């Protein structure tokens, strides 16, 4: 076997290995192989261990939302140590009412400044909100456009199906349990919180 043929075989073999690695990475990305998953029991336990932190997060988030800005659905997330997400969704999106903000924004990002200015949030508020969110072991908190009396807090998880802590303004009444489930406790802050699961479509 001459040297050129050996080189060709090595190149083809190398390309085959690279294609195989690419396929495996793509497969794992589109499956739940790399996803962080929790059971309902684990998330119920997380809430019980951090009930005070959930209550403080909810109270603070509500306190920094201006009354006149409730025409937006507000989503806040802690992305990495140096970035956050802040997205304002108008209840009616149009050329005059566009989505403001974005995901994975550095503290000096223009998009973050536009969204935070709209809410009157300082960098201190953003950092405090990120800190309170991290203490619940969750990544996201958001208002719900179709219900003014409900907040949603998303745990640290990935994948298609997700659990959500639904936090209501008042203790959960029986009329809500058929649709949303039972509250996490009968007393304390937990009687306002329902752990909901949204399956993949």
| Residue with more model confidence, 27 or 172 | 172
Examine residue 1 and state whether it is found in any structural domain, yes or no: no
Examine residue 146 and state whether it is found in any structural domain, yes or no: yes
Whole-model pTM above 0.75?
yes
Examine residue 153 and state whether it is found in any structural domain, yes or no: yes
Examine residue 93 and state whether it is found in any structural domain, yes or no: yes
Examine residue 32 and state whether it is found in any structural domain, yes or no: no
Predicted pLDDT at 93: 75
Predicted pLDDT at 158: 60
Predicted pLDDT at 198: 73
- Domain containing residue 143: 39-198
Predicted pLDDT at 112: 97
Examine residue 117 and state whether it is found in any structural domain, yes or no: yes
Query: Mutual orientation of helices 51-63 and 40-49 as an angle, nearest 10°?
Result: 80
Provide the pLDDT confidence category of residue 148 given band limits of 50, 70 and 90: confident
Predicted pLDDT at 68: 73
Predicted pLDDT at 150: 92
Domain count, the chain: 1
Contacts 24+ apart (CB under 8 A), 190-195: 190/47, 190/48, 190/51, 192/167, 192/168, 193/47, 193/54, 193/165, 193/166, 193/167, 193/168, 194/165, 194/166, 194/168, 195/40, 195/43, 195/44, 195/47, 195/163, 195/164, 195/165, 195/166
Examine residue 179 and state whether it is found in any structural domain, yes or no: yes
Examine residue 22 and state whether it is found in any structural domain, yes or no: no
Q: Residues 6 or more apart from 165 whose CB is under 8 A from it?
A: 43, 47, 54, 138, 152, 153, 154, 155, 193, 194, 195, 196
């Amino acid at each position: 076997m001459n040297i050129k043929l050996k080189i060709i075989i090595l190149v083809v073999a190398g390309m085959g290995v690279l294609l195989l690695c690419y396929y495996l990475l793509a497969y794992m990305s589109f499956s739940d192989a790399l996803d962080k998953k929790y059971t309902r029991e684990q998330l119920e336990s997380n809430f019980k261990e951090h009930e005070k932190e959930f209550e403080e997060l909810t109270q603070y988030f509500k306190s920094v939302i201006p009354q006149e800005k409730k025409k937006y659905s507000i989503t806040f997330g802690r992305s990495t140590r140096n970035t956050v997400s802040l997205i304002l969704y108008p209840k009616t999106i149009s050329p005059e009412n566009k989505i403001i903000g974005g995901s994975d924004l550095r503290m000096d990002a223009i998009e973050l400044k536009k969204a935070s200015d709209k809410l009157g949030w300082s960098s201190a508020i953003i950092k405090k909100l990120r800190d309170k969110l991290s203490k619940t072991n969750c990544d996201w908190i958001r208002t719900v456009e179709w219900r003014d009396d409900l907040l949603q807090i998303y745990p640290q998880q990935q994948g298609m199906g997700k659990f959500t802590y639904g936090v209501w303004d008042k203790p959960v009444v029986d009329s809500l349990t058929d649709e949303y489930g039972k509250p996490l406790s009968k007393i304390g802050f937990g009687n306002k919180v329902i752990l909901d699961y949204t399956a993949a479509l």
